[in-house]
Structure 1
Amino acid sequence: MSIWQGEHPLILASQSSARKTLLRNAGIAFEAIPADIDERSIQRDSGLTSPGEIAAMLAERKAAFVSLRHPGRYVVGADQTLALGSELFSKPAGRSAAAAQLAALAGKTHELHSAIAVACDGATLFSSVSVAHMTMRKLDDAAIDAYLDAAGDAVTTSVGAYQVEGLGVHLFELIEGDHFTILGLPLLPLLKFLRGEKMIAI
């Protein structure tokens, strides 16, 4: 028996393999339709500087963008912002940028702000932001190069140049926070919302 009770599958406004895996493992019927928006331009134009507010705003914009193109459907948008003090990080453009990010993060504790939003017909119905604290090991150039050699192009697909569900876990000495938050989809508040909407049976 499927636990999904919605009339239509949920739409995930993302192509993130980690987010898709989390929803699939939770038994949520969904289809992935990424939001074709210029995140960095929207962020600059917003004037926001708080990493949590930026993540929340982008998650809402993604959900709204896709929901307007799929009337009557529930769309979940998600965004993750990495902050080291007042400095914000984006996905690295290539290997050299990834190496620079890792060198900056090494030996320090940074924050991952993960936001989700659910929209229908362009209106936000629900939003939530969670934070995880990530303490990276001290890394010399040789350790960074070894990691980049092993991880390959995957380092450019995630902010901070790591994926803790893969080889990125080797970079850390302490992780404090919800597993789902770290993977970019705070799942527990999303499931609570969907239960309230009578979309899941458990």
Structure 2
Amino acid sequence: MSAAPGPRLILASRSAARRAMLTAAGVPFTAKDAGVDEDAIKTRLNGIEPAALALELARAKAVAVSTRDPDAWVLGSDQTLALEGGMVSKAPDLSAARARLVSLRGRPHALHSGVALAHAGQVVWSSVDTARMQVRAFSDAFLDAYLAAEGEALLGSVGCYRLEGMGAQLFDRVEGDHFTVLGMPLWPVLAELRRAGVILA
């Protein structure tokens, strides 16, 4: 979506879901890959709580793009998945995605969505929100059908599911904000963009 005259907003993310959220909400923005080394950040912050890591990754993305374009407002966002005390990373291929979904089957986990707004190379606001997900005890036949239908699109999600699609059938219960599950807590983001004068109040 093209930026309108006035304050420019950049989404520092490759996420199609985050782009779709802002577009549907009528927020003018452009998207840029932040180009941060997430693995290096995770290594440096080894042992950090999953929610705090989501926030630090969001802040790093926002600052990276804001430093290159200090006149723009930059929105960074990231998501982590916590499963029984451990943290899960994105699956590299469909075989790993299948194993990931099997590991989640019948168990609860938490999705933490961090977000940060930066301007002139500095974070001016950040927040994190959590959704609690209960995966149902789905059959192997459903898993096969799901993987065949969704394909490599699943690799963009840390949980290997897209709630806005067939992935909704994976769950018995979701507690928390729908947008947080999709990858960004939209309501607080919109409130902060209004406060900053990026969108109309």
Q: Which letter maps to 1:89?
A: V
Q: Which letter maps to 2:170?
A: L
List per-residue Cα deviations over 1:160-181 (Å, max 9, x = no partner): 1100001111111111110110
CA distance in structure 1 between the partners assigned to 2:190 and 2:4 by the alignment: 13
Residues 108-117 or 14-23, more deviating: 14-23
List per-residue Cα deviations over 1:17-50 (Å, max 9, x = no partner): 1111111111111000111111122111122420
Q: CA deviation at 1:191?
A: 1.1
Q: TM (normalized to structure 2)?
A: 0.94
Contact preservation (8 Å) 1:64, 1:124:
yes
Q: CA deviation at 1:110?
A: 0.5
Task: Name the structure 1 match of 2:197.
Answer: 198
Q: CA deviation at 1:5?
A: 8.2
CA distance in structure 2 between the partners assigned to 1:128 and 1:48 by the alignment: 20
- Asked if residue 40 in structure 1 is aligned to residue 19 in structure 2, the reply is no
Q: Which runs of 5+ in 1 are unaligned?
A: none
Contact preservation (8 Å) 2:9, 2:198:
no
Task: Name the structure 2 match of 1:179.
Answer: 178
Q: Which runs of 5+ in 2 are unaligned?
A: none
Contact preservation (8 Å) 2:7, 2:198:
no
SS in 1 for 2:123: strand
List per-residue Cα deviations over 1:94-115 (Å, max 9, x = no partner): 1111111111111011100001
CA distance in structure 2 between the partners assigned to 1:35 and 1:53 by the alignment: 19
Map 1:28-107 → 2, pairs under 5 A: 28-107=27-106
Task: Name the structure 1 match of 2:146.
Answer: 147
Q: TM (normalized to structure 1)?
A: 0.93
Task: Name the structure 2 match of 1:24.
Answer: 23
CA distance in structure 2 between the partners assigned to 1:170 and 1:142 by the alignment: 13
Q: Which letter maps to 1:93?
A: P
Question: In angstroms, what is the RMSD of aligned CA positions?
Answer: 1.5
